[in-house]
Structure 1
């Protein structure tokens, strides 16, 4: 995603989404999904070593045309072998250019100019690409910008059969979601600590970690991970696909 997208996303996700009451998890822990969008270099350099140090599994929503996919493919293959999820983020990160703060959206990748069929085709093509990397046939999807329509037509419903879950769509009111940027470690910890006791799933969507766009610092990211590691009696940190598969069995 181009850096000019940062203002729009920061405004959209400046405040956490509200949660509905659905009761606690069976084991009385709150699931925490740490996910990382756009296949950024700082994720390979900083986020993955920090996660692996503490044994946490996360989800990385990959853009096949990202520079790191061209230059560091073997490292992404290693990420999958380490037990992290490589999730679908479509081929080219298309978003609706008509929404506020979307001047960064190119005509070529403007969902308002797409057909529904094209939007679906690009998402499913990304699945083929990801299968070639990790050999997996099941994964989850995070829609770029959380847009769900192409030229005014919904394309998400037709994709549900192809994914275990779609982030921001398939949480059934049981979750909160935040994409932090330029925040402190304490702010990250406070967000997790202060969710309603009825929340079953906390989604934290990172982009850059110590670099790239919509970034949080390496120290802030590490402080959150250390807090979660010190409170495993309260939080179950796992990849989004694993969490959704566990919740489906409850």
Structure 2
């Protein structure tokens, strides 16, 4: 008679491993289906005029990546401080927002802020100077970084390597949904938003729920203020969906989600139980 026990044991181990992985993913997302991070770049007026009030109205928190040299930071510093006090993260988007002017389509890059002309030491120093400024605003020492224009290299060198100990993680600009184990904390995926409808934004969230992954939104203008923009109605629809489904969706600033991911990546996987 055919011995089916080895096949049974193999199937049992596979199922146990799958369930253990599923449980670990759920724990990473605060015992919810997925994580959603709302990020807003460049420290522009609409962040304070439109976004912070919208988030506060539904008691959701986001991450605002501030350019230290932005006049909106200097002119409205008390408002940024109040936003941080309400739980929003003030992330680091570099002091001068340098982008690689040698790449195609980078006519907007000025000679003074051309990352391709920077040294690695200059890039690192400016990012750390911005951290000092942000700490003076919010008193926080743990935060995340976002690459200006998504540019990560200077002369083939990944400058963030010297900044790993300064941040919990860094956000990139490549779209994609990932499990905690798939995330690269030096270049977290994000979806750049420009003109999408509320339904399209919500559809991304539903995909994250189904795949039990982390979804990072990258916004610039919300209701204007930037060439990359989403209208207020679409943004409001997204927030309402997230609030209505908060029992299934963990919405938190990048620093909190990245900290959970780092903990999950550093802890050994739960061993499969033996029959």
TM-score by length of 2: 0.78
Q: Which runs of 5+ in 1 are unaligned?
A: 1-21
Q: In the TM superposition, what is the alpha-carbon distance from 1:176 to its structure 2 partner?
A: 4.7
Distance in 1, matches of 2:189 and 2:93, equals: 20
Distance in 2, matches of 1:230 and 1:177, equals: 23
Match of 1:36 in 2: 40
Q: In the TM superposition, what is the alpha-carbon distance from 1:195 to its structure 2 partner?
A: 3.8
| Stretch deviating more after TM superposition (238-247 or 43-52) | 238-247
Give the alignment of 1:30-179 within 5 angstroms.
Answer: 30-168=34-172, 173-174=182-183, 176-179=189-192
Match of 1:8 in 2: none
Superposed CA offset, 1:61-92 (max 9, x none): 00111121121111111111111100000001
Q: Does 1:231 align with 2:231?
A: no
Distance in 2, matches of 1:108 and 1:176, equals: 28
Residues 141, 166 of structure 1: 8 Å contact kept: yes
Distance in 1, matches of 2:199 and 2:90, equals: 28
The correspondence for 1:246, drawn from 245, 252, 260, is 260
Residues 114, 151 of structure 1: 8 Å contact kept: no
Residues 38, 63 of structure 1: 8 Å contact kept: yes
| 1:99 to 1:228, Cα distance in 2 relative to 1, 3 A | same
| 1:172 to 1:103, Cα distance in 2 relative to 1, 3 A | farther
Residues 111, 151 of structure 1: 8 Å contact kept: no
- Structure with more helix by fraction: 2
User: What's the RMSD between the two structures over aligned residues?
Assistant: 2.0
Partner SS for 1:87: strand
Q: Which fold has the larger relative contact order, with Cα–Cα distance below 8 Å and residues 6 or more apart in sequence?
A: 1
Distance in 1, matches of 2:262 and 2:120, equals: 29
Q: In the TM superposition, what is the alpha-carbon distance from 1:192 to its structure 2 partner?
A: 1.6
TM-score by length of 1: 0.86
Q: Which runs of 5+ in 2 are unaligned?
A: 1-20, 265-275
What is the number of equivalent residue pairs in this alignment?
229
Q: In the TM superposition, what is the alpha-carbon distance from 1:28 to its structure 2 partner?
A: 4.0
Q: In the TM superposition, what is the alpha-carbon distance from 1:232 to its structure 2 partner?
A: 1.3
Distance in 2, matches of 1:164 and 1:194, equals: 26
Distance in 1, matches of 2:33 and 2:207, equals: 14
The correspondence for 1:183, drawn from 196, 209, 212, is 196
